[in-house]
Structures are given as C-alpha cells and as structure tokens.
Chains A and B, each alone.
Chain A
Amino acid sequence: QVQLVQSGAEVKKPGASVKVSCKASGYNFIAYGISWVRQAPGQGLEWMGWISTYNGNTKYAQKVQGRVTMTTDTSTTTAYMELRSLRSDDTAAYYCAREPTDWAHLDSWGQGTLVTVSS
C-alpha cells in the first residue's frame, strides 16, 4: 500500500535550519510528484511547494522562496524539504503528500512532522 513516512519532530532555534524527510513506498516513486504543506498550530493548511520526482523541477510559494529547498533521492525513494533561517512563525506541522501527474491533487499524505522554533 502507498505509504509516506516522515522523520520525527524537531526543535530548532531561530536562525537555524531544518531538513524533513519523507520516505515513500508502495508505488512507482518517479511517477508522482511530491508537495509539501504546512499547518501552524490551530491554523489552516498552507501549500509550500512541489517537486517533480522525475526531473527535480520545483515550484515554491513566494512566502518561503529563498529559504526553502526541496529535493528527492530516487535511489532511496525519499523526498526532503529544507527550510533555513527559521523564525518563530515557521513553527508548524509539515506534511509531504503525493501528487499524481495527470491532475494536481494530493492523494496520499505523510503523518506530519512537527517543527518547533523557539529560543
């Protein structure tokens, strides 16, 4: 069955970086893109960006552009999201999700990774 398993919770200081992993299994990894969505405590969902697992092309939300890098490792079927220069308002649950290439929708999600930014 399709599974996306994310790395564990992180606590970081302001200005630091965090790298969240998303291990995919149960499907052809390069046939689907990976999107990243975050959710601040008690708030709604925020789309951060997308990466093609086929060729590495990316699209980022302007809000995090310049601070975020999304990558994939096809040998281990793992996607990564690195966020730099962390601020307190980056405190959120970060989700990876699978995106079919024929229609942009998120049909399978990871369990989420809580990133807490605090001094």
Chain B
Amino acid sequence: DIQMTQSPSSLSASVGDRVTITCRASQSISIFLNWYQQKPGKAPKLLIYAASSLQSGVPSRFSGSGSGTDFTLTISSLQPEDFATYYCQQSVSTPYTFGQGAKVEIK
C-alpha cells in the first residue's frame, strides 16, 4: 500500500495568515492526489483533486501543487471558517490511502 505522510500534524495560525500543509507519498503517484477539509462532527469536503484542480464552489484562497511524491495545500489568507482538519488522499491505486490529517487551529 502507498503510505501518505502529512506535515505538520497540527499548526496554530491567525486569521489572514498564509498556511501551507505538505503531503508526501511513499512512491510516485503522478498527480493522483486529492485534498479534503473536515470540520468536527461533519463529513469531509473535497477541496482539490488531481493535485491542483479546485473543486467547484471552493474559494480561490485554496490551492494545490506538486507531482510525483511531494504535494502542497496552501491557504493564501486564512479565514475563520478554515479552522479544520485537512487530509490528503492518493487515488493512483487501491487502497486509496489518506494521510493522517493536519489540524489547523486558532492561534
């Protein structure tokens, strides 16, 4: 199975900050990488697919980049509603494994 490792596992940031979360795959996955946001008690929500494609309806402050084994999710200016846990997921081969999550908390 492909292992996905996110860093950091948690971070504290202020409204307006630029936030970057990284995701590393244990082997090359091309651009088969998705990002999800999850708030407590809620289902995950798709933000980015194919490494850099913004899902319809997702604010443009979210962006994704990378290919191969290293990927980044960037929030250009953190908003109050962005405090949540973020997960990456590889979809090049089953099982479609997720990273362990990165929790973004209020500083």
Interface size (A, Cβ < 8 Å)? 23
* Interface presence of A45 (CB below 8 A): yes
- Say yes or no: B55 contacts A47, CB within 8 Å: no
Set A61, A63, A95, A104: member contacting B44, Cβ < 8 A: A95
Inter-chain CA distance A61–B50, complex, in Å, is: 22
| Residues of chain B lying within 8 A (CB to CB) of residue A63 | 95
Q: Is the interface of B mostly helix, strand, loop or mixed?
A: loop
Q: What's the nearest-Cβ distance from chain A to residue B45, in Å?
A: 7
Q: Is the interface of A mostly helix, strand, loop or mixed?
A: loop
**Which of A45, A47, A59 is packed against the most chain B CB atoms within 10 Å?**
A45
A18-57: contact bitstring with B at CB < 8 Å (1 yes, 0 no)? 0000000000000000010100000011110010000000
The 5 lowest CB-CB distance pairs between A and B, nearest first, are A104-B91, A105-B49, A109-B43, A45-B98, A61-B95
* Interface presence of B87 (CB below 8 A): yes
Selected A-B contacts with CB under 8 Å, 10 pairs? A44-B101, A45-B36, A45-B44, A45-B101, A46-B98, A47-B98, A59-B94, A61-B95, A105-B46, A106-B36
| Residues of chain B lying within 8 A (CB to CB) of residue A95 | 43-44
| Residues of chain B lying within 8 A (CB to CB) of residue A106 | 34, 36, 44, 46, 89
- Say yes or no: B96 contacts A47, CB within 8 Å: yes
Interface residues of B (CB under 8 A from A): 1, 32, 34, 36, 38, 43-46, 49-50, 55, 87, 89, 91, 94-101
Q: What's the nearest-Cβ distance from chain A to residue B72, in Å?
A: 17
| Residues of chain A lying within 8 A (CB to CB) of residue B36 | 45, 106
Known A45-B98, A95-B43; 15 more pairs at CB < 8 Å = A37-B44, A44-B87, A45-B87, A46-B98, A47-B94, A47-B95, A47-B96, A47-B98, A62-B1, A63-B95, A95-B44, A103-B49, A104-B34, A105-B46, A107-B55
Q: What's the nearest-Cβ distance from chain A to residue B43, in Å?
A: 4
Q: What's the nearest-Cβ distance from chain A to residue B64, in Å?
A: 12
